[in-house]
Amino acid sequence: MIDSTLMVAVFLIRAFEERTAVAVRSSDEAAETELLEYNQEEDFNESWDGSYGEFEMGVYSYTASEILFHVDSKAYKSEHTAFKGTLEAEAEEP
């Protein structure tokens, strides 16, 4: 009986450790992907930062685009889409 209990406990611990490791890797990969996406949109970020500037909190300083990207990714994507639409419309005008 004790051997069976020990075997089940070891199984559960290993399963938990494997799931935790996968979740940590997925989280790290997601963070790297976000950083790459943010860095790839320099035109939008510069435009947004030009409009709203930089925010300082004590010794910390963040650009408006960084704040928008990390706090509300849906709003960032929405504003980015609108920005790209404006650029395309301006490019089509004679």
Tens-digit pLDDT profile for residues 39-92: 888 999 999 999 999 999 888 999 999 999 888 888 888 899 899 998 888 888
Q: Is the pLDDT of residue 1 over 70?
A: no
10 Å CB burial of residue 66 (0-12, 13-18, 19+) is middle
User: How much is the pLDDT for 74?
Assistant: 84
Q: What is the pTM of this model?
A: 0.58
Cα dihedral 60, 66, 71, 75 sign = positive
10: enclosing H helix or E strand: helix 2-40
User: How much is the pLDDT for 44?
Assistant: 93
CB contact at 8 A, 54 and 61: yes
Section 22-43 average pLDDT = 67
